Amino acid sequence: MSYFDAASSAPLHPVARQALLASLDEGWADPSRLYREGRRARMLLDAAREAAAETVGCRPDELVFTSSGTRAVHTGIAGALAGRRRVGGHLIVSAVEHSSVLHSADMHEADGGTVTRIAVDRTGAVTAEAYERALRQDTALACLQSANHEVGTVQPVGAVAEVCRAAGVPLLVDAAQSLGWGPVEGDWSLLAASAHKWGGPAGVGLLVVRKGVRFAPQGPVDERESGRAAGFENLPAIVAAAASLRAVRAEAAQEAVRLRELTDRIRTRVPHLVPDVEVVGDPERRLPGIVTFSCLYVDGETLLHELDRAGFSVSSGSSCTSSTLTPSHVLKAMGVLSEGNVRVSLPLGTTEADVERFLEVLPGAVTAVREKLGASLPTTIATEDALIVDALGKRCPIPVIELAKVIGEVPLGGTVRVLSDDEAARLDIPAWCEMRGQEYVGEEPADQGCAYLVRRVS
C-alpha cells in the first residue's frame, strides 16, 4: 500500500517515535512544580521550545505549544483581533485559506466585524498588490497561508508581509504545510503550524506571537504557555514534535529535490496518460511533494475508491467527496475543474517505483470510472435557438458528461442550455468550456436550479 496523502497527515517520523517513547518515562510530571520530577519535565519542555523556536526562526518566549494547529490558528486570530480592537474590526484573509482560518473569519463577521477575502488567480496565488488595496485604517489583522494545502501553491508571504508592515498591520501566517520544508520568509507577526503535518504526533500545534504585537488571549486562561494555551501540556508529544521538526528540516533540502522530481514526473505524464485532465496549481512556486489534477467525466469519490483498491491512498477536493456535495472552496476560488480531483502528496521516503506504479494504475482507474458514469443518457429538448439538456437531480460530473455528449449536435455558434441543481455545475461547466475550447455564456435562473449556457465555437 502506498500512502500518498502526507498533506493531510504525514506518517510519524522515526525520530518522533523515539523521542515520544523516551519522554514518556521522563516527562510525565507537572513542569510547573519545583520538585525533582517537575524540574526534569520543565527541562524537557524548555529544550523542546528552544529547538522549535530555532527551527521556526523566533525567540523561545515568542512560541507556545497548543493542542492542535487549528487551535493555534483560532487562538492567534482571536487574540490579535482583540489586542487591536481599538484600531478597528477589519480582517483580511485569502479565499483559499485553510478552513480553520475561514471559520474564524466567519465567526468574526458574525460578531460584527468586517472581512475582506482576497481573490486568487487560476494557480491559487494571491498578490501583494491585492492585500495592499484591501488594507484600511481599521484593519486589525491580515492572514495568509505560506502554501496551499490542496494544490501546493506557495504564496508571496514576504511581499505581503512587507506591505502589511508598512501599514502597521500584523500578518498571521498559517505555515502548516510548509514549515517542515523551511522557514517562512518575510517579516511576519504571527505564525501557526501543526506537528502532524511534518511527521510529528497529532495533537500538537505551534503558535508564535512576535514581541511588540498587541495580543489579548480570549476565553479562560491559566498560567501555562504564557496564558495563550490553557491546560496541562502533553509533554511527550511536544518533545516528539520538536525533535521531528528539527530532523525533518535536516533532511528537507535533499528530499525536496527528490520529491520535486517525482511530482514533476506526475505533472508531466498524467495529461499524456489520461485524456481530459487539468493539472492545477502553480507549476513552479509550489511545495515539493504535492501535485493536484482534475479529470473530466469522473466522480471524485469513486476514483479514490478505485485507487484505494489498487493500493494507493490519495485525497481529493472534489465536490463528490464531501457530505455537503459542494465544491472545494480552494478549487472554486481558483475557477478550475472540481470533478475528479486528485491530490497526490508524497511523504518523505517515497520511492520512484511507487510513483511509476501509480502512473501505471491511474489510466485504468480513470477509464473504469468513466465507463461506469458514461451509461447515463441525457434528456435533450431541441428548440429553434438552443439544445436543452435536463440534468436536474443529477450530481456532477453527470451534467458535464451530458453536455459533452450533445455539444457536437448543435451547429457552430449554436447554444446548449444545461439545467442543473448541483452547485458544482456552476464551477465545472465553465471549467469544461475552457478546457474544450467552447464559450461559456453565463447562467440564467430556471424553475429548478440554474440554466448554464454554452456556445459551440469549435
Q: Grid coordinates in use for 136?
A: 484600511
171-174 and 139-145 beta bridge pairing:
parallel
| pLDDT score for 381 | 61
Respond yes or no on whether the N-terminal peptide bond of residue 397 is cis (omega within 30° of 0). yes
Q: Grid coordinates in use for 453?
A: 449556457
Q: pTM higher than 0.95, yes or no?
A: no
Q: Which residues contact 168 (CB under 8 A, 6 or more apart)?
A: none
- Full pLDDT tens readout for the chain, 458 residues: 799 999 999 999 999 999 999 999 888 998 989 999 999 999 999 999 999 999 999 999 999 999 999 999 999 999 999 999 999 999 999 999 999 999 999 999 999 999 999 999 999 999 999 999 999 999 999 999 999 999 999 999 999 999 999 999 999 999 999 999 999 999 999 999 999 999 999 999 999 999 999 999 998 888 788 878 888 899 999 999 999 999 999 999 999 999 999 999 999 999 999 999 999 999 999 999 999 999 999 988 889 999 999 999 999 876 444 444 567 899 999 999 888 899 999 999 999 999 999 999 999 999 999 988 874 444 656 565 678 999 998 888 889 999 998 998 889 999 999 999 988 899 899 989 988 899 999 999 888 889 999 999 98
Of the candidates 399, 397, 385, 406, the one whose C-alpha atom is nearest the C-alpha of residue 448 is 399
The catalytically annotated residue of 58, 143, 164, 320 is 320
| pLDDT score for 321 | 46
- Count the helices and strands in the chain (H runs, E runs): 12, 17
Cβ(301)–Cβ(143) under 8 Å? no
Cβ(48)–Cβ(149) under 8 Å? no
Residue reference for cell 485559506:
97
d(CA 267, CA 50): 39
Longest dimension (CA), the chain: 88
Q: Say which DSSP state 5 is in.
A: B
| pLDDT score for 323 | 45
Catalytic-residue membership of 143 = no
Residue 117 pairs with which residues in a beta bridge? 93
CB atoms within 10 A of CB 344: 29
Residue reference for cell 468513466:
370
Residue reference for cell 497526490:
344
Helix (H, G, I), strand (E, B) or coil at 82: helix
Cα 128 to chain centroid distance, Å, stands at: 20
DSSP, residue by residue, 262-316 = HHHHHHHHHHHHSSSEEEES-SSSB-TTEEEEEETT--HHHHHHHHHHTTEE-B-
41 phi and psi angles, rounded to 5 deg:
-65, -40
| pLDDT score for 385 | 64
| pLDDT score for 222 | 80
| pLDDT score for 386 | 75
Q: Which residues contact 247 (CB under 8 A, 6 or more apart)?
A: 13, 15, 16, 199
Of the candidates 227, 203, 208, the one whose C-alpha atom is nearest the C-alpha of residue 217 is 227
| pLDDT score for 80 | 98
